[in-house]
Chain A
């Protein structure tokens, strides 16, 4: 078994088992927690609509913070959109998903994907520089932040290296890319990358709590 066969086979399989088991573990573990008793009088009824509203409104910065957070917010958007496009709209990736989902969807031309991928990497490094240079951010950052950054950026970089090749053989760099994705899949449920599947759960919960208390959302 060569490196590529290992990466496409056992490495991806184990990573997928951990991703699925870990994500469901985290979700169930949180969803089954007992709600804190709220003895205050409900100001408004807190339904699903309240949750959806906050899921939407929290995608944008509140007016008073707009100027202060414009730069990191912009970078975060570039990074997330770039990451989404490279993962889900790159045709070879769509073929990968189709391999086990059985459905496919339209992709973007590779050259546009490369462009978005480079933008995502640049934005990620800019965000890292910001984290390392801002005293406050530096203070509240721990291993999880840096490692999560690393395992997210690594597949982007190794993926972009495939067309460039960098002196490596195609199958070698492809294997390294898949292994870096496996590392991301293994880490994703357990660190701060858990926001991939928790972000809308937490936002929705916040929305419902705030609505109940009559806070402006």
Chain B
């Protein structure tokens, strides 16, 4: 492999900008789609079809006075959104989005870092990202923010277990924790969504809860909690939290595509990134559709669903997969 470090650097810079651009336009797509699903127009004032709306929002957030409670703990209050955004963006580094190319004597791989434990790394980064939410809520010194962060914490910890167990079937079938190898295996056999359909459904449900998306958006249930852990945040600090949430959603969709839907596989491999993007966009559209369709769960329903439905189903799926893998190998 002839791939000097500066190629990785260029890839990282391009990818981070793509992710942030995608985040900005995801808010537009979401508002537009939600509007259409609810027989409204959605944003349509800034530019044609409201296309400049994300940019207007960004300018507004940056120019806003950064206002915070006098009793907030300064250092932690400022660090919390940075931690969340950083871990969310970093997780994308190990997700493969292409087959790799050979240009002018240089090899360009289809991911920034190919580590043998990339799947665990993504989960570890997700576990660290939770701290941004809980520390931010605590450091705000506000009862709504604290309650919101407590809920976030309880929900994320509960659903992380089901999420991790739901991918165990894929790991068992591929025999690897490396995302590139999991895609290789799918290229030679079959997309894992077919043999691992149960795991796929559990992953989608737990993933929706992991990213605080409706109908699992209890951490920011505005009727009870004002806005949850980011109640006391304004300006670009709020923007960072929002960015972390949307980037998490992109990362989770990408992980789902990688594990279950064949990643960048599709007709004519050099177009890999395009297939990858298409699949991710379909999944994101699905998440938005869910938001427009389902009402928010009650808190006890959420916990009961996580521990009494998703977790046993995911465990059973892993056990059955393990037995079958041993039987047929």
Q: Do A and B bind each other?
A: no
Residue positions of B touching A, CB distance < 8 A: none
